[in-house]
Amino acid sequence: MGLRFYVKAVQTEYWMPDSDYLSILASVLRDKISDGDIIVISEKALAVAKGLIIDEKEVKPGLLAKILACFWMRIVWGFFLGKICHLKRENIQRLRRYPKKEGSVHKQVVLLHAGFFQSLNWGSEGGIDGSNLPFTYVSLPLNDPQSIAEEIRIHLMNELGRKVTVMIVDTDKTYSFRNFHFTHRPVPIKEIHQLLGMIAYVLGRSLNLKRRATPLAIAGSKLDIETALDIAEAAHKARGSGSGRTVWDMAERFKVSLTGVTWDMLRSLRHKPIVIVKPRRPERKG
């Protein structure tokens, strides 16, 4: 992205289910944004605020889910695909110890809400994610991120009088091979191709292709795909990973079990679900 943009993350309270994200956005962005800015917002924070979460303890796993947890994750990912995809050694070890009980329940949720091919991936299957959530909760992806981005854009214009671009982004990666961009993540922007299930992930990781966070919606202006991907990744780096990149990292941070993280623990952390991206103004010569 070079020197074309300034990028600044904005800290807010932790977004709980039913949080009024429109009011929060207007409050924290007041006096911080100008016409032409790009406001990048975490899909995860929006999904939680809209109540798109499931408590997995209420789910009973079937036989296929148990096979996925006990064999596919522990053996196929733990000893073969993990290495092919160049996963960190600690993540490979975690996969070899993939929890049978909790893992089976999680795979059942993925099967129900994202389908079989997404269940073959090792994390954030179909945009379903348990990081930065407590207990046995996981979040579902937004059904229509474009309409939410437009809602936010209009609200900021009405409340703050600013004409901005709103982008909703997920940390799941888009991989790029020259001018071809693809992801395993559902509902990316139209210039990004969704490949079936884990195929995008395995191809992108095994071939060490360039990877960046995935834009899901852009409202307010048109951005070329390279600029959109660069902004999404820059915003992701500025925002950080909250309580951790994975549920294992989150549990280790708080020194609890995988299902021992509480709402209060998450609220105690610094959260940066919003990033302001400002175009750099060309310097005058002479």
Look at 146 and 282; give whichever has higher pLDDT: 146
CB atoms within 10 A of CB 51: 12
**Domains of the chain by start residue, with CATH:** 5-49+146-279 (3.30.1330.100), 54-139 (no CATH)
The DSSP line for 118-138 is HHTSSSSGGG-B-TT--TTEE
Residue type at position 212: R
Name residues whose C-beta falls within 8 Å of residue 75's C-beta, 6 or more positions apart in sequence.
Answer: none
Mean of pLDDT values over 208-223: 97
Q: What is each CA distance from 246 to 94, 105, 124, 194, 258, in whole angstroms?
A: 11, 17, 9, 23, 10
Which tens digits make up the pLDDT trace of 78-99?
A: 999 999 999 999 999 999 999 9
The per-residue pLDDT for 281 is 66
Going by pLDDT thresholds of 50, 70 and 90, the confidence category of residue 196 is confident
Q: What is each CA distance from 285 to 42, 276, 280, 282, in whole angstroms?
A: 38, 27, 15, 9
Q: Are strands 165-177 and 210-219 parallel, antiparallel or unpaired?
A: antiparallel
Going by pLDDT thresholds of 50, 70 and 90, the confidence category of residue 260 is very high
Does residue 2 carry a pLDDT above 60? no
The mean pLDDT of the chain is 94
Which tens digits make up the pLDDT trace of 102-126?
A: 999 999 999 999 999 999 999 889 9
The per-residue pLDDT for 244 is 73
